[in-house]
Amino acid sequence: MKFFADTADVDAIRDLNDLGLLDGVTTNPSLIKKSGRNILEVTKEICEIVDGPVSAEVTAIEADQMIAEGRKLAEIAGNIAVKVPLTLDGLKACKVLSGEGNMVNVTLCFSANQALLAAKAGATFISPFIGRLDDINMDGMELISEIRTIYDNYGYETQILAASIRTVNHIKDAALIGADVITAPPAVIKAMANHPLTDKGLDAFLADIKSGGISIL
């Protein structure tokens, strides 16, 4: 499974990348706004830090304008994945941009039918939103499972990018189902390393090291 960081915080991205845990980044207008920086400037910096795909979202809602914005975003770096919404206009833009050789991430997916359309439009990634479905008492993981089955049935190469990740259990469950990628806040990715028994064991080791005067260097 690939890990993408869902943030526009370059310091957090650099930290995860230095840990060797990062395969890509997803951004959106809301995350760019939080960064307080120019969208083209911050996106370029992120692309210089990360080798993998960096999703940069269009701001338009009409196909022709999405295509124009997508082409401009793609000029930033070779690892840009143009992010478009799952609307008919977004699907049209996806078809054109992917046909030109660009990576395209189709976002705001909430149904298997939508995911099927995105695959037919040539999407590189489909982003089903797990947490937002859970918020309205629907099962986000059931959607991941449905998409996995459909894509496997027909050999679609579109990668399932589980988004709106809120917890480490979301990541585990998405991995069990077979999502290709998760995108999550850096804090959630780091929290995967936490376990109380690990902490307890480490405390015991450290106590023994200290009392035994053990040293390697």
Task: Please say whether the beta carbons of 121 and 91 come within 8 A.
Answer: yes
> For 189, phi and psi rounded to 5 degrees?
-60, -45
Q: What DSSP letter does each residue of 52-111 carry, written as one string?
A: S-EEEE----SHHHHHHHHHHHHTT-TTEEEEEESSHHHHHHHHHHHHTT-EEEEEEE-S
Query: Does the annotation count 92 as an active-site position?
Result: no
> For 174, phi and psi rounded to 5 degrees?
-65, -40
What's the rounded Cα separation, in Å, for the pair 167 and 25? Answer: 18
> Pick the catalytic residue: 2, 33, 34, 83?
83
> For 5, phi and psi rounded to 5 degrees?
-90, 130
Rg (CA), the chain: 19
Q: Return the residue matching tokens 């008492």.
A: 137
The enclosing H or E element of 30 equals helix 29-35
Task: Please say whether the beta carbons of 118 and 112 come within 8 A.
Answer: no
Residues marked as catalytic:
83
